[in-house]
Amino acid sequence: MKNVKFGDLGLSEKILRAIDDMGFEEPSKIQEEVIPIVLEGFDVIGQAQTGTGKTLAFGAPILSKLDRSEGRINTIILTPTRELAIQVNDELNRIAKFTKVKLLPVYGGQPIDRQINALRRGIDIVVGTPGRVLDLIGRNVIDLSRIKFLVLDEADEMLDMGFIDDIEEIVKNCSKDRQTMLFSATMPDEIRQLSRKYMSDETKHVSIVKNTMTVATVAQFYYEVKQKDRFESLCRILDVDEPSSAIIFCKTKKGVDELVEALDVRGYNAEGMHGDMSQSQRMSTLRKFKEGNLDFLVATDVAARGIDVENVSHVINYDLPQDTESYVHRIGRTGRANREGTAYTLVTSREYYILKQIEKATRSKIRRKEVPSIDEIFLTKYKSAVARVKEVIEKEEHKRFVSLATELDEEYNLVDVAAALISMVLEKELGSNYAENSIGSSSSYVRLFLSIGRMDKINPKALLQFFSDQADTDKEDIGDIDIMEKFTFVNATEEAAKAIIKHCSGKRLMSRRVNIEISRPR
């Protein structure tokens, strides 16, 4: 079967040239089907998975039909968020590169006067959020009575309860003689029904049906965590996976603020984005993230829909999404345009059934993963330190220090020197982050100090024996047990800690502070 080319779809030469400039070789399935239909003048409801190029699917044919600037609004595109309005406007601007068409994004949180002035100078396509568009209609600067195209991007979200009144109001102002287009990766039946009101009887439904609602290139996993271990688990996941760039979703704005602060304290490069932040802050954070100067974007669902950032390697649902649609859109921020991605969801045992519902509704497989142990993190950090050493040697960046190392060679065993350097590097990497945090410590307080010296494993049996001896003595106040004096624990495993906890629970030790210190030998 011959692959369809952009040139086969009936687009104008200027638009084809722009698409070529953008570096796109072939149309995606949704583009292949939607573009000719729009060019023919039909209303369209288009559904295709996240990141499959729906923006261009409506943008290219609209621009192909407009070509010249008419100096008055002929197209209105509505998006649920400000950032998405800006992004869609940018993408369309790239497609419009060789035409004279003028576009303007309008959205709240930006001085309205500037937008009014720009609109007065003559704009063909307005891309905006419903609230601001209504405001501008009310001020008589946006007149939709002669528009040719109305697009609802993220249509289901726009027709959902929160936006429906504004949308109805805007549609009332639109010319009857228009093409209406609805796009989204998810299109629940009730939304389809509702949309009939705004669409012609000849509306074409284009649904790129795949086995799953989610994109195949996104590997999906979940971690079962205790509520109180949520944060610690996240840190461990980040430390072992070392995502190049991740979006972490929280349920609430407060949750976002708290998580950003906690991540910051632990030294992660994270910033938040939610509806209570100023627009300039939201934009600068997103810009930083897009430019690769921010590792972790922590956000509410405000970033769940439509946002297209290249190379987001991970999406992490720190809190569960509110519904299946939200899950699909959130994880769709990775694995875009056929790239690979990873999606993680943290669930408590009580939330597990919701995850199962999502899995069923999306028909995708969300596999279980275990939260990494401290040993695994240690190993990861060790491996990346060694990889860096290798890189330095290969690039010969170490050459100027060779003479100093020769001096060390005279005094010490070089294996000891290497071990000391590893120790210093890892200490810096891990800091005290894992010294005072352990998972599953229930009400007991367990401190684990990672050791990075000799590799003798702790002997859980001996430890348990020690504890049972202590418990059996039935001392009233055991208080802080300083076991450092009795044992030297080297490279304690998390299993050992778990065994201790298991042993302690149900005993009277439970209510006491158990302070296990495993020292780091010098």
Ligand X SMILES: Nc1ncnc2c1ncn2[C@@H]1O[C@H](COP(=O)(O)OP(=O)(O)OP(=O)(O)O)[C@@H](O)[C@H]1O
Contact residues toward ligand X (CB under 6 A) are 24, 26-28, 31, 48, 50-56, 185, 306, 308, 332, 336-337
Nearer to Mg ion, 51 or 321 (CB): 51
Site mask for Mg ion (CB under 5 A), range 35-54, x = bound: -------------------x
The full 3-state SS of 124-146, as one line of letters, equals CEEEECHHHHHHHHHCCCCCCCC
Question: Residue 451 and residue 422: Cα distance in Å, rounded?
Answer: 12
Taking the least distance from each CB to ligand X, the nearer of 135 and 301 is 301
CB of 98 to ligand X, least distance (A): 17
Q: Could you say which of ligand X, Mg ion, none residue 50 binds, taking C-beta under 5 to 8 angstroms by partner kind?
A: ligand X
In angstroms, rounded to a whole number, what is the distance separating the alpha carbons of residues 344 and 243? 12
CB 243 within 8 A of CB 313: yes
User: Considering beta carbons, is residue 46 or 306 the nearer one to Mg ion?
Assistant: 306
Residue 320's contacts (CB-CB under 8 Å, 6 or more residues apart) are 251, 345, 346, 347, 351, 354, 355
For residue 303, the minimal CB distance to ligand X (Å) is 11
Query: Which of 154/239 has CB closer to Mg ion?
Result: 154
Whole-angstrom Cα distance, residue 124 to residue 308? 24
Would you say 38 or 377 has its CB closer to ligand X? Answer: 38
- State the number of CA atoms in the 13 A half-sphere of 312 facing the CB: 29
CB–CB of 44/38 below 8 Å? yes
191, 117 Cβ separation under 8 angstroms = no
Q: Which residues contact 15 (CB under 8 A, 6 or more apart)?
A: 60, 63, 64, 95, 98, 99
Segment near Mg ion (CB under 5 A), from 27-35, 302-310, 370-378, 435-443? Answer: 302-310
Nearest Cα residue to 19 out of 38, 9, 37: 9
Residue 445 binds which of Mg ion, ligand X, none (CB < 5-8 A, kind-dependent): none
What is the nearest approach in angstroms of Mg ion to the Cβ of residue 306? 4
Provide the H-helix boundaries in 175-295.
Answer: 189-195, 230-241, 253-265, 279-290
Binding status of residue 306 toward Mg ion by CB under 5 A: yes
Q: Which does 504 bind (CB under 5 to 8 A by kind): ligand X, Mg ion, none?
A: none
Structural tokens at position 47: 């559904």
Give the nearest distance from C-beta 77 to Mg ion in angstroms.
Answer: 11
Burial class (CB in 10 A: 0-12, 13-18, 19+), 220: buried
Measured CA to CA in angstroms, residue 67 lies from 11, 24, 41, 76, 102 at distances of 11, 21, 16, 16, 10
The secondary element (H helix, E strand) that includes residue 18 is helix 13-22
Comparing CB distances to ligand X, the nearer of 27 and 372 is 27
Residues with Cβ within 8 Å of 354's Cβ and at least 6 positions away in sequence, in order, are: 320, 347
Instruction: Give the shortest CB-339-to-Mg ion separation in angstroms.
Output: 16
Is residue 243 involved in binding Mg ion (CB under 5 A)? no
For the CB of residue 13, give the shortest distance to ligand X in the complex, in Å: 18
- Closest C-alpha among 492, 481, 412 to residue 452: 492
- Asked if residue 59 binds Mg ion (CB under 5 A), the reply is no
- For the chain, give the longest Cα–Cα distance: 91
Supply 463's token pair: 């430890």
Query: In which element (H, E) is residue 297 found?
Result: strand 296-299
The neighbouring-strand residues paired with 181 are 44, 151
**CB 504 to Mg ion: min, Å:** 52
What does the alpha-carbon distance between residue 185 and residue 328 come to, in Å, rounded to a whole number? 8
Alpha-carbon span 464 to 502, nearest angstrom: 10
CB-CB neighbours of 95 under 10 Å? 24
> Taking the complex as a whole, how short is the minimal distance between the CB of residue 22 and ligand X, in angstroms?
7
Q: Minimal distance in Å, beta carbon 163 to ligand X?
A: 16
**For ligand X, which is the closer residue by CB, 89 or 433?**
89
The minimum distance between CB 244 and ligand X, in angstroms, equals 17
Q: Which is nearer to Mg ion, 88 or 504 (CB)?
A: 88
Nearer to ligand X, 183 or 489 (CB): 183
Does residue 329 touch Mg ion according to CB under 5 A? no
Closer of 77 and 235 to Mg ion (Cβ):
77
* Residue sitting closest to ligand X (CB): 53
Taking the complex as a whole, the smallest distance from the CB of residue 278 to ligand X amounts, in Å, to 25
Kindly state the smallest distance separating residue 91's Cβ from Mg ion, in Å. Answer: 9
Question: Pick from ligand X, Mg ion, none: which does 27 bind, CB < 5 to 8 A by kind?
Answer: ligand X
For ligand X, the closer of residues 29 and 178 by Cβ is 29
Residues in contact with Mg ion by CB under 5 A are 54, 306
